[in-house]
């Protein structure tokens, strides 16, 4: 448990949450400031800030749980779609520094989700190709 981490406090039961799912490694609850009806957060119980830090087993458990949760969402909310969003770092507006996956359903007839639409601009294929080579070499 990390001191001053709001999600660790939720895991410890020190702060209440609208819990929807729990297992050995994972906790899931509704977001307090929902972007849409049913906006859900899925978190590892063990503190890790982001995708760089999270243990592989916790990461797998979060995503396995999200598959169960999205099934329940489908049955309860019948959404047109669900956006999965996960931010890493303050530079991309991560506010709570405890890994969390957002599941954001768009219920039929509601407004489009801002997180799922952006302007399509073709990239520079040369730059894309060069960067792909550099990243692939790091991963190889």
Residue ranges in contact with ligand 5GP by CB under 6 A? 6, 15, 17, 29, 31-33, 41, 87, 93-96
Give 41's strand partners.
Answer: 29, 102
In the list 47, 100, 102, 106, the residue contacting Zn ion (rule: CB under 5 A) is 47
Largest separation between any pair of C-alpha atoms in the chain? 52
- The reply on whether position 98 binds Zn ion by CB under 5 A is yes
98 is catalytic: no
- Looking at the Cβ atoms of 101 and 132, the one nearer to ligand 5GP is 101
User: Which residue in this structure is represented by tokens 């039961």?
Assistant: 13
Bridge-based pairing state of the strands 26-30 and 19-22: antiparallel
Distance CA 38, CA 47 (A): 24
Stretch that binds Zn ion, among 2-10, 27-35, 51-59, 82-90 (CB under 5 A): 2-10
Helices (H) and strands (E) in the chain, counts: 3, 5
Binding positions for Zn ion, rule: CB under 5 A: 2, 5, 7-8, 47, 98
Catalytic residues: 100
């Amino acid at each position: 448990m990390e001191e001053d981490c709001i999600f660790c406090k939720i895991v410890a039961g020190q702060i209440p949450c609208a819990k929807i799912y729990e297992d050995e490694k994972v906790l899931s609850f509704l977001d307090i400031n929902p972007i849409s009806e049913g906006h859900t957060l899925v978190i590892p119980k063990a503190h890790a800030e982001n995708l760089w830090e999270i243990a592989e087993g916790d990461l797998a458990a979060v995503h396995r749980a999200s598959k169960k949760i999205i099934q329940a969402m489908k049955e309860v909310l019948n959404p047109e779609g669900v956006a999965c969003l996960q931010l890493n770092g303050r530079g991309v507006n991560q506010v709570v520094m405890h890994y969390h996956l957002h599941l954001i359903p768009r219920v039929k007839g509601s407004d489009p989700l801002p997180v799922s639409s952006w302007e399509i601009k073709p990239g520079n294929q040369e730059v894309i190709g060069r960067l792909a080579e550099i990243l692939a070499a790091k991963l190889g």
